[in-house]
Amino acid sequence: MINRRVGLVVVAIGAMYAPLFSCPASAQEPGRHELPPPPDGRSKVIGLCDGQTTVVVPGLAPGERMSPGQAREVAEELMRQYQGKTLLAHGGAGHTERETRVWEAELKRTIDEGYKLFHSPELGTNGISCDMCHPDASNTHPETYPKFQTQLKRIALLRDMINWCIENPMEGPRLADDDEKMKALEAYILSTRKGVPLAPGKH
Ligand code: HEC
């Protein structure tokens, strides 16, 4: 048994199934998900990527690394709980209609925002906009990233080329990777290539 072998105390926290999405209107970068406090000073709580599932690992000092075996046990326990929850929430079926509607609406909102930015000079300072050179996002080839870009002399992500074009022909300030405008531009550009096979590195 996993618990006996590594002394894992597993605590299922919170409701069985909290809403999967936060309110879009107050969309804030969540950073790390909020964890319940550890039961004592010699345990650590580790959270899963779903923002809900947690496991308490006893006997781990702050900043201390787990052994490879213990780390694997913790990862597997997190995934075991996660899969159980997903099954309970959806009965093994797809997502609810409401989830799908919210997700689609949010994506559409982001793509529309990206479309607006792509067709506006506001990202630059000289009046030029993306669409003047890339009508309908043509020749942006998002599916070929990451790839080596000669002008950057390194492997670039799509956002690196977006920034390159903002800084050069448009003479604008580069966007941070997590800038909502960058996300919107990527969403719009990628949406124009829906269904095209991914081809990282293709020239
Ligand atoms: C003045 C013309 C011009 C403007 C304005 C411009 N681009 Fe570009 N862009 C180019 C050219 C030319 C290339 C191809 C560079 C090369 O040969 O690698 C390019 C390359 C790209 C690429 C990489 C394409 C590929 O094949 O890998 C992306 C993505 C891109 N631009 C996005 C944007 C975005 C987003 C904007 C607006 C913020 C923008 N561009 C504005 C001319 C422009």
Query: Tens-digit pLDDT profile for the chain (203 aa)?
Result: 344 344 444 443 333 333 333 333 344 556 777 889 988 888 999 999 999 999 999 998 778 899 999 999 999 999 999 999 877 766 666 788 999 999 999 999 999 999 999 999 999 999 999 999 999 999 999 999 999 999 999 999 999 999 999 999 999 999 999 999 999 999 999 999 999 999 999 99
**CB of 123 closer than 8 Å to CB of 181:** yes
Q: Does residue 161 line the site of ligand 1, with CB under 6 A? A: yes
With 0-12 / 13-18 / 19 or more C-beta atoms within 10 angstroms meaning exposed / middle / buried, residue 75 is middle
CA of 139 from ligand 1 middle (Å) equals: 7
Other beta carbons less than 10 A from residue 161's beta carbon: 20
Mutate to test the pocket of ligand 1, among 120, 139, 143, 165 (most ligand atoms within 8 A of CB): 165
Q: How far is CA 49 from the centre of its chain?
A: 10
